[in-house]
């Protein structure tokens, strides 16, 4: 189950509509398994197939606190109620977030990895993730839902520099070296292996650079104004010949 590269804006595949899955076969299962590994490596909540270059209606969700991911094949939203404003991010826009409108309640249905029919009525993050990922399958991006006059903001602006990068995910593996499969292993039999999944395993550096360029070019991101370099000394003065109290010549005496 290899980790697949995540496509980022403005990759044209993100604007393409994914095809209906006619049969849940080994190819679809392999795609779903790759997507699960990719999503877990990225530390995200949801991933749609076209975000990893496959034009099939497959979505993976891994909600915080849940042990396992959810495979959704041919998901569709049947009904929605209410409206709310939420901060949202996207793995195809790494490093950014924005304020969007989403539904309060979502009714949806899909096939699971075994081809069984599933349905749900849900709220909160599950509802938000369903709308976000099914939008992806239809070529719709969350920037299309930005509130009027809203721009994308930098995500993680206040992250401790000593902490891992938002896409460098620390993984802790526990290897059991005990001989008895049924007994609870002793602490001395457990080897803890730490590793880090790198940003470069998930994204192409060139594609991320192009994303930053295009977001600024299209106006979704605006660079903050550069601070004015104040090099003059300022003093309080009642003299009208002094421009706001700026001494143009430090040697000048009045």
Residues 165, 167, 168, CA angle at the centre, nearest 5°?
Answer: 60
- What's the distance, CA 65 to chain centroid? 18
Note whether 62 and 70 are within 8 A (CB).
yes
Task: Tell me which of 81, 131, 133, 170 is the catalytic residue.
Answer: 133
Note whether 101 and 226 are within 8 A (CB).
no
CA separation for the pair 254, 244 (Å, rounded) = 15
Phi first, then psi, for residue 10 (nearest 5°) are: -105, 40
Instruction: Please give the helix or strand (H or E) that residue 48 lies within, else none.
Output: strand 46-48
Residues, the chain: 254
Q: Is 133 a catalytic residue?
A: yes
Q: Catalytic amino acids?
A: 133
């Amino acid at each position: 189950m290899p980790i697949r590269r995540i496509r980022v804006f403005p990759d044209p595949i993100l604007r393409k509509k994914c095809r209906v899955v006619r049969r849940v076969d080994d190819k679809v299962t392999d795609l779903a398994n790759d997507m699960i590994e990719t999503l877990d490596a990225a530390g995200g909540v949801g991933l749609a197939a076209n975000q990893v270059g496959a034009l099939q209606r497959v979505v993976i969700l891994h909600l915080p606190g849940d042990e396992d991911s959810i495979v959704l094949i041919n998901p569709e939203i049947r009904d929605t109620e209410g409206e709310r404003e939420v901060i949202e991010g996207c793995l195809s826009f790494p490093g950014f977030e924005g304020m969007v409108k989403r539904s309060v309640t979502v009714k949806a249905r899909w096939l699971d990895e075994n081809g069984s029919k599933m349905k749900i009525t849900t709220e909160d993050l599950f509802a938000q993730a369903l709308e976000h990922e099914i939008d992806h399958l239809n070529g719709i991006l969350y920037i299309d839902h930005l509130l009027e006059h809203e721009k994308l903001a930098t995500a993680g602006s206040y992250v401790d520099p000593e902490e891992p990068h938002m896409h460098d995910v620390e993984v802790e593996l526990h290897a059991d070296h005990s001989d008895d499969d049924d007994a609870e292993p002793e602490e001395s039999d457990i080897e803890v292996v730490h590793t880090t999944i790198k940003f470069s395993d998930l994204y192409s550096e060139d594609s991320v650079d192009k994303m930053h360029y295009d977001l600024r070019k299209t106006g979704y991101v605006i660079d903050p104004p550069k601070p004015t370099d104040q090099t003059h000394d300022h003093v309080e003065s009642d003299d009208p010949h002094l421009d706001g109290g700026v001494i143009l010549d430090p040697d000048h005496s009045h």
